[in-house]
A and B are shown apart, each in its own frame.
Chain A
Amino acid sequence: MSSPEVLPDSEAKRWKYLNNVRTRPGAFVDPEEFDGSTVVENMNKIKILVIGAGGLGCEILKNLALSGFKDISVIDMDTIDISNLNRQFLFRHADVGKFKAEVAAKFVERRVKGVKITPYNCKIQDFDEDFYQQFQIVVCGLDSIEARRWINATLVNMASCENPDSMKPLIDGGTEGFKGQARVILPTMGSCIECQLDMHAPRAAVPLCTLASIPRQPEHCIEWAHVIAWDKEKPFPQLDKDDPEHITWLYQKALERAKEFNISGVTYSLTQGVVKNIIPAIAATNSVIAAACCNEALKIASSCAPFLGTPGEGEPNYMMYSGNDSIYTYTFKHEQKEDCPVCGMTARVLKVNPKWTLEELIESFATLPEAQLKKPSVRAEGKTLYMQLPPNLEEQTRPNLEKTLEQLGLTEGTELAVTDPAFVGVVFNFSLKFA
């Protein structure tokens, strides 16, 4: 089924009210500082990236296109499943099996003239900093904490003092059932996703022994099939949660076990839900959260009103929404963590001679006024240089002490993480500069 073309009688009419809002200073904007005449032209040039083209992503793409963004890119590795169609309104039955990013991009391009949407059917990890450098704003509609942490670390790492263009505001939306949140991260200028990690409740798990010996609920039987029976019997080399054959195998196993313990309620769709950790998605929650995110994008891009995450004392950066019991929202400031492993520790520049041995480098830590480390352990990304503990790792890394920094493959800009038992819980961060 193809959607009918809906065209406004004139383009000017379509954008009239949006332009009224974005080209005039809002109530909290200094009219002297705001120049409405350049807003449209500036926003036409902004490249904005949307990560995720699922429940939130569909809403975000539609909202951004209707908010006057003209150059949008979207990344999603997933293909369309029939169960997405109730809320992911850019997809039709005939699209099942196609890439979400591609179908969503085409749909919105067709409906909103003048918008260019570039789809990428892949993982965010497939791209490096050079790719992300081309965008001015990033909006996330993700369902995974791991992906959020990755893009957050990447954007924070890119933010460089020398180049203000490297600072990409990250707008993150998330929903779970009737609850959701919208937040704005200005990398290095405030609290980041890693600082806010404790805002995500860990997934509730059932003790392994309950699964193994006294299952009481259908979910226990499914988890048993998933974590115990699968490993024992290995019917396929690797569990693919999207492969119906694999889910069917788990479903049959769970059903047998449920029968044994007289438990009812194991179904194919429950099996899929438990294994993939699917939380029922509410279309309305997605649209509320996506709307909040896109309002922030519009405000950041146009400066027509103050945005969430504005740096400054007491300025909020986090909006939580709960529809569980009536409607409740609370907007507050999540503080930046001083010891945040991603944004908290600006690396100190350490001038070193590439001909130094690692031992000489380590000895130099003892005389650094800000550190004075007696027993430091040192690592770089993916490279263990020298660890004081545990004893076996000390032994394995001891030969490195005699090698020079060059020989160890350390280059300018490499960041060293240094820990010391005298400073429990503290990591010193140094960025190498060759002298």
Chain B
Amino acid sequence: MLKIWSMKKEQQKAENAAGAESGGKKKKVTAAQLRVQKDLSELSLGSTMKTEFPDPDDILNFILYIEPDEGMYKGGKFSFTFNITPNFPHEPPKVQCREKIYHPNIDLEGKVCLNILREDWKPVLNLNAVIVGLQFLFLEPNASDPLNKEAAEDLRSNREGFKRNVRTAMSGGTVKGQTYERVVQ
């Protein structure tokens, strides 16, 4: 035990010389918050996306709004809750769509099938990657990863019909017995 203490004393001498001394009780920012701060300050949202922080002190919970300016979902306004656990970036953020929408890769409860939100998440990925991924889902809905099986089937078999269904659903209409939320202004 004594040996470690003397080694620590050696090290502290060197550090004191470098000007690192502490005053009072330390209150350190946690690793997850630090990483989210880094990610947020490098975020490039562009003109189609906006964030909302219900509590600005809690940067682990926020809402992302996406308003696609091209593609089949153009004109809609979609929102996603981001819930980042203290185990970030070891665990991916939990992301859920708040509106009931007609999309092959988003189910009626708002669950999103995006590989980097689950099986392909790696701690080197950041919030920007997730946000780009979400934006991409609206530009290129993907019939081979279906969460809403009917929507995926429509997209695969009849692209024009799928487009019409998207318009109907986005304006609050009913597609195949399901009534969707109005997401156009």
A interface list, Cβ under 8 A from B? 42, 46, 136, 145-146, 149-150, 153, 157, 159-162, 164-165, 167, 169, 186, 188-189, 194, 197-198, 200, 202, 204-209, 212-213, 227-228, 231-232, 300-301, 303, 311, 341-342, 346-349, 377, 379-384, 387-393, 396-397, 411-417, 419-421, 424-425, 427, 431-433
- Expressed in whole angstroms, the Cα–Cα distance for A421 and B26 within the complex equals 26
In contact, B28 and A396 (Cβ under 8 angstroms): no
Which one of A164, A197, A379, A380 lies within 8 Å of B90 (CB-CB)?
A: A197
In contact, A392 and B51 (Cβ under 8 angstroms): yes
Which one of B23, B37, B38, B145 lies within 8 Å of A209 (CB-CB)?
A: B145
In contact, A301 and B1 (Cβ under 8 angstroms): yes
Which one of B19, B57, B90, B107 lies within 8 Å of A228 (CB-CB)?
A: B107
- Expressed in whole angstroms, the Cα–Cα distance for A159 and B11 within the complex equals 12
Residue B50, interface by CB 8 Å: yes
**Complex interface residues of chain B between 1 and 22 (CB less than 8 A to chain A):** 1-5, 7-9, 11-12, 15-16, 19-22
**Complex interface residues of chain B between 41 and 57 (CB less than 8 A to chain A):** 41-43, 45, 50-53, 56-57
Query: Measured between C-beta atoms, what is the minimum distance from A193 to chain B in Å?
Result: 10
Residue B129, interface by CB 8 Å: no
Q: Which residues of A contact B5 (CB under 8 A)?
A: 164-165, 167
In contact, B119 and A164 (Cβ under 8 angstroms): no
- Expressed in whole angstroms, the Cα–Cα distance for A188 and B10 within the complex equals 13
Q: Which residues of A contact B27 (CB under 8 A)?
A: 380-381, 411, 413-415
Q: Which residues of A contact B163 (CB under 8 A)?
A: none
Stretch among B73-81, B109-117, B133-141, B173-181 lining the A interface: B109-117
CB contact under 8 A between A153 and B146, given known A208-B113, A393-B40, A433-B23: no
- Expressed in whole angstroms, the Cα–Cα distance for A167 and B58 within the complex equals 31
- Expressed in whole angstroms, the Cα–Cα distance for A159 and B20 within the complex equals 13
Query: Measured between C-beta atoms, what is the minimum distance from B27 to chain A in Å?
Result: 5
Residue B182, interface by CB 8 Å: no
In contact, A412 and B23 (Cβ under 8 angstroms): yes
What secondary structure prevails in chain B residues at the interface with A?
A: loop
In contact, B25 and A384 (Cβ under 8 angstroms): no
Looking across the interface, which residue of chain B has its beta carbon closest to that of A207? B119
Residue B164, interface by CB 8 Å: no
Q: Which residues of A contact B25 (CB under 8 A)?
A: 413
Q: Which residues of A contact B34 (CB under 8 A)?
A: 341, 417, 427
- Expressed in whole angstroms, the Cα–Cα distance for A6 and B67 within the complex equals 74
Which one of A169, A379, A421 lies within 8 Å of B33 (CB-CB)?
A: A379
- Expressed in whole angstroms, the Cα–Cα distance for A379 and B67 within the complex equals 29
Which one of A167, A204, A414, A424 lies within 8 Å of B119 (CB-CB)?
A: A204
Q: Which residues of B contact A160 (CB under 8 A)?
A: 22, 26
In contact, A396 and B56 (Cβ under 8 angstroms): yes
In contact, A209 and B87 (Cβ under 8 angstroms): no
In contact, A167 and B4 (Cβ under 8 angstroms): yes
Not counting A202-B122, A348-B20, A379-B29, a sample of 12 additional A-B residue pairs whose C-beta atoms are within 8 angstroms of each other reads A146-B87, A153-B30, A207-B118, A207-B119, A207-B145, A208-B118, A209-B113, A228-B107, A232-B109, A382-B33, A382-B58, A384-B57
Query: Measured between C-beta atoms, what is the minimum distance from B101 to chain A in Å?
Result: 16
* 11 interchain pairs, CB-CB under 8 A: A46-B1, A159-B8, A189-B4, A206-B119, A207-B119, A228-B107, A379-B33, A392-B53, A415-B26, A416-B29, A427-B38
Q: Which residues of B contact A412 (CB under 8 A)?
A: 23-24
CB contact under 8 A between A389 and B8, given known A145-B90, A384-B59, A415-B29: no
- Expressed in whole angstroms, the Cα–Cα distance for A205 and B58 within the complex equals 28
Looking across the interface, which residue of chain A has its beta carbon closest to that of B50? A392
B interface list, Cβ under 8 A from A? 1-5, 7-9, 11-12, 15-16, 19-31, 33-35, 37-38, 40-43, 45, 50-53, 56-59, 86-87, 90-91, 105, 107, 109, 111-113, 115, 118-119, 121-123, 145-147, 149, 152
Q: Which residues of B contact A420 (CB under 8 A)?
A: 41
Which one of B15, B31, B59 lies within 8 Å of A346 (CB-CB)?
A: B15
- Expressed in whole angstroms, the Cα–Cα distance for A194 and B109 within the complex equals 35
CB contact under 8 A between A311 and B33, given known A161-B12, A347-B22, A377-B41: no
Q: Which residues of A contact B59 (CB under 8 A)?
A: 379, 384, 387, 393
Which one of A157, A169, A300, A391 lies within 8 Å of B28 (CB-CB)?
A: A157
In contact, A391 and B24 (Cβ under 8 angstroms): no
Which one of B4, B28, B43 lies within 8 Å of A153 (CB-CB)?
A: B28
Which one of B9, B31, B56, B105 lies within 8 Å of A384 (CB-CB)?
A: B56
Q: Which residues of A contact B109 (CB under 8 A)?
A: 228, 231-232
- Expressed in whole angstroms, the Cα–Cα distance for A347 and B25 within the complex equals 13
Q: Which residues of B contact A391 (CB under 8 A)?
A: 45, 50-51
In contact, B20 and A349 (Cβ under 8 angstroms): yes
Query: Measured between C-beta atoms, what is the minimum distance from A355 to chain B in Å?
Result: 18
Q: Which residues of A contact B4 (CB under 8 A)?
A: 167, 169, 186, 189, 300
Q: Which residues of A contact B87 (CB under 8 A)?
A: 145-146, 149
- Expressed in whole angstroms, the Cα–Cα distance for A82 and B7 within the complex equals 46
In contact, A205 and B43 (Cβ under 8 angstroms): no
Q: Which residues of B contact A42 (CB under 8 A)?
A: 1
Q: Which residues of A contact B23 (CB under 8 A)?
A: 349, 412-413, 431-433
Query: Measured between C-beta atoms, what is the minimum distance from A217 to chain B in Å?
Result: 14
In contact, A383 and B111 (Cβ under 8 angstroms): no
